[in-house]
Structure 1
Amino acid sequence: MLTSLKRLLIGRPLKSTELGEQKLNKTKALAILSSDALSSVAYGPEQILIVLFTIGAAAFWYSIPIAAGVLILLTALILSYRQIIYAYPHGGGAYVVSRDNLGKNPGLIAGGSLLVDYILTVAVSVSAGADAITSAFPALHPYNLPISIVFVLFLTTLNLRGVTESASVLAYPVYLFVVALIVMIGVGVYNSVTGHVPENLHTPIGTPVAGISLFLLLKAFASGSSALTGVEAISNAIPNFKDPAPRNASRTLMAMGGLLAILFSGIVFLAYYYGITPNATETVVSQIADDTFGRTFMYFFIQGTTALILVLAANTGYSAFPLLAVNLAKDKFIPRMFTIRGDRLGYSNGIITLGVAAILLLIVFNGKTEHLIPLYAVGVFIPFTLSQTGMILKWMREKPQGWVPKLITNATGALISFIVTIMFFLTKFPQVWPVLVFLPLIVLLFHRIKTHYDLVGEQLRINPNQPPKLVEGNVIIVPVAGITKVVENSINFATSLTDQVIAVYVAFEREDEHAFEEKWKKWQPNVRLVTLHSSYRSIIMPLTKFIDTVQNKAEENNYRVTVLIPQFITKKNWHNILHNQSSLLIRAYLLFKRDVVVATVPFRFKK
């Protein structure tokens, strides 16, 4: 039944030879990998206005120069990540760049930040998508959290079906969103230029505003920079592109940067010109669409596509998280299970882990987007800063042809990213302080996992100069609970392997002990029986003491001790609760015994 449900939700398994068919062309890649960055225009401009509103609506004209600063940072980041794509064509993004140029710990900080950031990408995106829906339908506002969780479950299932299948589904809403916003911006700008929008709705640019300060402007700039989250995803996901992957990834990155610049600047301009004031019940994009088209079909089309792309922006996390996890797992910093491809050739363990973590995060924060965005943004600007700094060192060390312009580009990106990171900590410390706690813990966890793998490798590694230790023979101990076909099956198997077989019976009463010995002599006279008396009605303790005794003697003669446990398998699973599971308890306990082999001989019931 579970297999049938899995096939229904995920689809048939794919052969490894079909991996090439799961690669993305530029059109699909732009949709699936740019949805996070493009969707952030739905809340990035709003974050600028929220900061400026603390001074008053008169300060909204500052959103124009702040947006110009954000576009400068966007340009620097796009050009920088374009260089990273060609310098590191196998993907890995900020983690690989930081690891190779700054060292292990900076790389782990970048990798840990991005892992958490991709979880936040999913949480923020679906939460913002739910906000867009409830802005259009206020009656649904109390159900933001359940709506968000349903979206996560849908995207997790979709991505488990494979990269190309999810891209095929997600491409249409992303392009519809881009078209809808370009139409809205075009109509809005036309209305502004032709005088259809009253000029008294906004304060003229350059108007002095009391209370404004450089600190506040930097805070607004840092908040608006949240619109740039997701621009690094393409550099992480180069292996998902069709060949030539670096060139296709680079062109997709440039296209994303151009679209993001148009949409971001257009929304900031219209929000300023229309005199939009942010509020808790309706998003800025919703207000702009309402002022531009009224509550017509076009308004609901914009809200619908905005909600869709905000939800589907989470798919950037589903594309980049598993690939980053693969790089960390190959370096032995996270479990190796993240390197295994699933039935549909995607990294299923990474996809499932991401979905579960995002749901837990939504529950903890009760689906509140405004509480998640600061963590989300600072989590991505730390890798931004580290990767750009790493590229600076790379150019200075290697000095390839034309390295000076590349150095200037990366230096500009590193400086601005560093300023934004510091501003987040200075201005939003009550919201972003968890970063200072979980990042060191994540890096510590990475090191503990790496240490474990190194120790395992050391213990498993064979020294060719050391002769192998040969085992002279085998002593098999068979715990028995009575004279049955189950025991007979196990004894027959044991005697077929060696003549050193010891049956062990644990009795709670002396009478039972003697009676069993008499029966055994008649039934299996050629197999040695050892009976143990347990005054405290424990099977495991006297059995393990006896095994220790046998093991000590066996080691002296270079013999191996094997405990062969008889176990019957019921026809139906629920029948198991009708029987005591002493064999399972013995097995679980003995698995941790030193140098003892534990094996099970099943006996299957037919009725």
Structure 2
Amino acid sequence: MDVLRGVGREWQRVSAGCDVWRRALPVDPDLGSLPSPAQITPARFGRVVPVSPFGPTVLGTPPPRLPPAGAAEEEGPPSPVDRPRGIYRLRRLLLGPALASTAIARERMRKLVALPVLSADALSSVAYGPEAMLVVLVLAGSAGIGYTIPIAATIVFLMLAIGVSYRQTIRAYPHGGGSYIVASDNLGRVPGLVAAAGLMTDYILTVAVSIAAGVAAITSALPSLDSSSVLIGVAAIAVLLACNLRGIRQAGAIFAAPTYAFVIAMVALIAVGLADAGDRNFDPVPDAPAGATEGLGILLVMRAFASGATAMTGIEAISNAVPAFKPVEWRNARTTLTWMIGILVTLFAGIVALIHFDGILPRSGETALSQLAHSNYGSGPMYVYTQAATAAVLLLAANTAFNDFPRVLSLLARDDHAPRLFARMGDRLAFSNGIILLSVAAGLVYVAFDGRTASLIPLYAVGVFLAFSLSQAGMVVHWWRLRDRHWRKSLVFNATGGFLSAVVLVTAGITKFTEGAWVALVAVGAFLLVTTRIRRHYDTVAAALRLQRHAIELPRRTIAPRVAAPAEGVEGSPDGSGSPGTPEGREVRDPEAFHEPGEAEETEEVPEEIRHLSLVPIETLDRAGMRALAYAASLEQPVLVVHVSTGVREAETFREHWRLWGDHLPLQELVSPYRAVIAPLVNYIEALHHQRPDLTLTVILPEVVMRQRRYSALHGRTAPRLRRALRPLRKIVVTSVPFHV
């Protein structure tokens, strides 16, 4: 703050007062404001609403009509971003038209919708969790199969313990408490990154495993497709990629249908199977002879336990999405989590019981669930329904990762642990870069392991239970620090869940190390290394940009704006006079001659005909920002500084810093309620252009330039993005003031 005051005093020595700069403005910078969050109301079946344009009508014409809530902009000429035209048409065909100036309005879900949408990952895991446990136990022959029920009972207890633990997390973090947030808040930066690494690994493998299990359900019903399983899986990932890049989510009821269909199919299968077993007094069908290939020992039992515990994946999803519930959010989230755990335990225990009673053993080319359906239904319509519902819910479970992975990555980018481009939403209001990264990573993993669920499961448990363990450990620290009402009970629940999760993590890491768990451990280590290096780079850049009192570039003479008055009849003249400042002998063209209202022809041929306004979009008062301000002021043309804040608190902070600096130039603040910066800025510049189409607007951007080009990808390319967005508008120039680091 002291340095900022000192820099302000240096500016005061060489700059005219703010009143002088403000009187020189040829426009009215106050064009209204963006809507408040309370005014953002989505359509009944959408999550997108239009944002009203800035400013008054131009030359008596009404503002452009906006599309209805949830709709896309009308078809028009391709944006410069989409050139050449062939690429533009392909994007429009695959992804739909880019959305007009829009704001996201979160869709609040009631419990009956939230349950299937957020539980798809967890509930679908019963399609492969029991079989993964059985695949390990059968290695010990009939003796190993005998441990199915005891191990399943232990996993059920673990499900209950983890579920109760996450109920405490929801109470402590009513605004959403994923493993990354909880671990970072309570254990520190490195444990938070390790938890994030576990989550990211989990989400990538969720896509790969869910697609593999879904394809297995299809090929079990249609064995002729088994040779094409890899191709089918890659095509499914591509379809999920395209669907998620479209960005718009319809009502949750659409996504609820596959989960409810799967639950109904499993409940019906369990009921029919148990009724059949009851007719024979619950006597198990004798197992087919199973030759032992390994001895029955503690390591084999632990491996089976770790494999079966993958049926718990996705339990964390509800604690991440607490704000998506209808009020009272945390109470509804806890109730939904309780329902999910109850259904998960019922389905898991029921499937394991049927496997035990029907004597099902793993078989190449057909899943255990398919064998159960064949055993109880034959090959009739119920068998087809069961397999179709299983495949559908597994694909939906993969889609859950497409929602969560980009959001965790955006949180990492917000905290400078990932490239900032992952914090940016695409044209369709989705974290497009994160979605693409997830698709590529999951596709590579799927192909590398030949799309086989049994090969992918050993990688799965490590990431899942690493995140579980750190999240629960963070909650223990949270309750110990807080010590509010019932803190002891909550601490015991979280400590129990954390201990059991750590047991599974260690078990999976040791027993499955050579089977592929080492890949997950290496991935976590590599992730930690990369994210810490990225944070170190951003810290280095921040240090280079930090204000230094005697490092600010200022002119040696007093600077003040020189203004040439507009031609007679031009609206928006600062003083309402005609054209006393127009040089003799020069004809200044009248904007009334424009072909269309609000548009100006680019007919200036000599310098005297050009009337300037410099716009300086600035994010923070660092050295790069100060250099851009100094450059703009040195041109001695009217200057307007624009700051886009993503929240009221950020706006107040910037305003305080601006006052400390001295308020030497006119400032216009825009508060964006939907955490976007480029769209409101373009909207505002376009509104100024329509207010005074005779002006040449020069947008001067501070730009950090890396001397080492390998770091360039870590920094946003605001100038090129603004150039592409503003290129269709006439008489707007975008330039940058580089600051080399």
| TM-score, normalised by the number of residues in structure 1 | 0.74
Match of 2:308 among 218, 224, 227: 224
1:382 alignment counterpart: 466
- Superposed, which structure 2 residues align to 1:430-445 within 5 Å? 430=514, 431-445=516-530
Deviations 1:469-525 (A, max 9, x none): 13579xxxxxxxxxxxxxxxxxx999999xxxxxxxxxxxxxxxxxxxxxxxxxxxx
Q: In the superposition, relative to structure 1, how do residues 331 and 211 fare at CA in structure 2: closer, same or farther (>3 Å)? A: same
> Mean alpha-carbon deviation: is it higher for 62-71 or for 451-460?
451-460
Deviates more, 1:433-442 or 1:454-463: 454-463
CA drift of 1:373 comes to 1.3
Q: Distance in 1 between matches of 2:349 and 2:359?
A: 15
Task: Summarize deviations over 1:266-313 as a string: whole Å, max 9, x none.
Answer: 000000000001122111100011111111110111011111111221
Alpha-carbon separation, structure 1, partners of 2:105 and 2:286: 55
- Does 2:508 match 1:424? yes
Match of 1:569 in 2: none
Alignment map for 1:35-46 (pairs within 5 Å): 35-46=120-131
Measure the CA separation in 2 of the matches of 1:49 and 1:413.
Answer: 25
**Counterpart amino acid of 1:448?**
R
Partner of 2:156: 71
- The match for 1:318 is 402
> How far has the Cα of 1:382 moved from its partner?
0.7
Inter-CA distance 65–15: structure 2 relative to 1 (3 Å threshold): farther
Alignment of structure 1 residues 162-561 onto 2, 5 Å: 162=247, 164-165=249-250, 167-195=252-280, 199-201=284-286, 212-430=296-514, 431-463=516-548, 465-466=549-550, 468-470=552-554
1:182 Cα deviation from its structure 2 partner: 0.5
Q: Quick one: distance in 2 between partners of 1:163 and 1:413?
A: 36
Given that 1:236 and 1:323 are in contact with CA atoms closer than 8 Å, whether structure 2 keeps it comes out as no
| Alignment partners' CA distance in 1, 2:555 and 2:450 | 60
Deviation at 1:385, TM superposition (A): 0.9
Larger CA deviation: 210-219 vs 296-305: 210-219
Q: Return the alpha-carbon distance in structure 2 between the equivalents of residues 190 and 14 of structure 1.
A: 54
Instruction: Tell me whether 81-90 or 404-413 shows the greater mean CA deviation.
Output: 81-90
Deviation, 1:148, is 0.6
Q: 1:116 deviation in Å?
A: 1.7
Q: Which has the higher helix share?
A: 1
Deviations 1:540-597 (A, max 9, x none): xxxxxxxxxxxxxxxxxx99xxxxxxxxxxxxxxxxxxxxxxxxxxxxxx99699xxx
The alpha carbon displacement at 1:236 in A equals 2.4
Give, in angstroms, the shift of residue 168 of structure 1: 4.5
- Give the Cα–Cα distance (whole angstroms) in 2 for the partners of residues 467 and 74 of structure 1: 59
2:118, 2:400 within 8 Å by CA — same for their partners in 1?
Answer: yes
Query: What is the aligned counterpart of 1:31 among 113, 116, 131?
Result: 116
CA distance in 1, matches of 2:439, 2:118: 17
> 1:426 & 1:275 partners in 2: Cα distance?
30
On the 8 A contact 2:462/2:521 being kept in 1, the answer is no
- Checking the alignment, whether the CA contact within 8 Å between 1:35 and 1:309 is kept in structure 2 is yes
Question: CA separation in 2, counterparts of 1:191 and 1:399?
Answer: 52
Distance 2:270 2:101 in 1: 46
Task: Give yes or no for the alignment of 1:80 onto 2:165.
Answer: yes
Q: CA deviation at 1:183?
A: 0.5
Cross-structure match for 1:489: none
For the structure 1 residues 448 and 200, does the alpha-carbon distance in structure 2 shift closer, same or farther, using more than 3 Å as the test? closer
Instruction: Specify whether residues 193 and 455 from structure 1 end up closer, same or farther in structure 2 by C-alpha distance, changes over 3 A only.
Output: same
Aligned to 2:139, what secondary structure does the other structure show? Answer: coil
- CA deviations on 1:242-268 (whole Å, 9 max, x unpaired) are 444333332322222111111100000
Distance 1:30 1:401 in 2: 29
Residues 117 and 256, structure 2, Cα contact 8 Å, conserved in 1: yes
Which secondary structure does the structure 2 equivalent of 1:462 belong to? coil
Paired residues of 1:237 and 1:320 also in contact (CA < 8 A): no
Is the alpha carbon distance of 1:89 and 1:364 closer, same or farther for their aligned partners in structure 2, counting shifts above 3 Å? Answer: same
The change in CA–CA distance for 1:333 and 1:199 in structure 2 (over 3 A counts) is closer
Return the offset for 1:227: 0.4
- Of 132, 137, 148, which residue of structure 2 is paired with 1:52? 137
- Structure 1 residues 293 and 330: CA distance shift in structure 2, 3 A: same
Counterpart check, 1:105 vs 2:105: no
Match of 1:2 in 2: 87
CA RMSD of aligned residues (A): 3.2
Residue from 199, 203, 211 that aligns with 1:118:
203
Query: Taking structure 1 as reference, are residues 104 and 196 closer, same or farther at Cα in structure 2, changes over 3 Å only?
Result: same
Amino acid at match of 1:40: S
Q: Displacement of 1:166 after TM fit?
A: 7.9
1:130 pairs with one of 203, 210, 215:
215
What amino acid does structure 1 have at the position aligned with 2:544?
Answer: Q
**Conserved in 2, the CA contact under 8 Å of 1:57 and 1:277?**
no
* Structure 2: distance between partners of 1:270 and 1:303: 17
Q: Is the 2:303–2:511 Cα contact (8 Å) retained in structure 1?
A: yes
Q: Which of the residues 246, 249, 263 maps onto 1:161? A: 246
Unaligned runs of 5+ in 1: 204-209, 474-491, 498-557, 560-589, 601-607
Q: 1:376 to 1:591 in 2, by over 3 A?
A: closer
**Percent identity of equivalent pairs:** 44
Cα offset, 1:224, TM superposition: 0.7
Q: CA deviation at 1:62?
A: 2.0
| CA spacing shift, 1:150–1:25, aligned 2, 3 Å | farther
Asked if the contact 1:237–1:319 (Cα under 8 Å) also holds between the matched residues in 2, the reply is: no
1:150-181 CA distances to partner (integer Å, 9 max, x unpaired)?
11111122223336328444321111111011
**Letter of the aligned partner of 1:346 in structure 2?**
A
| Cα displacement string for residues 319-376 of structure 1 (whole angstroms, at most 9, x for unaligned residues) | 2112211221111101122222233333222222211221122222222221211111
Aligned to 1:547: none
**Equivalent in the alignment of 1:94:** 179
Q: Deviations over 1:94-122 (max 9, x none)?
A: 11111111111111001011112101111
2:255, 2:396 within 8 Å by CA — same for their partners in 1? yes
8 Å CA contact 1:49, 1:60 repeated in 2: yes
Aligned residue identity for 2:487: W
Does the 8 Å contact 1:16/1:345 carry over to 2?
no
Residues 182 and 471 in structure 2, CA contact (< 8 A), matched pair in contact too: yes
Other structure's SS at 2:146 match: helix
Letter matched to residue 151 of structure 1: A
Q: Report if the CA contact (8 A) 1:97-1:107 is conserved.
A: yes
Q: Structure 1 CA distance, aligned partners of 2:326 and 2:524?
A: 34
**Which of residues 151, 160, 176 in structure 1 aligns to 2:236?**
151
Check whether the contact 1:152–1:359 (CA below 8 A) recurs between aligned residues.
yes
Q: Deviations over 1:427-448 (max 9, x none)?
A: 1111211233221221111111
Q: Distance in 2 between matches of 1:428 and 1:467?
A: 57
Aligned-pair distance for 1:225? 0.2
- SS of aligned partner of 2:352: helix
SS in 1 for 2:451: coil
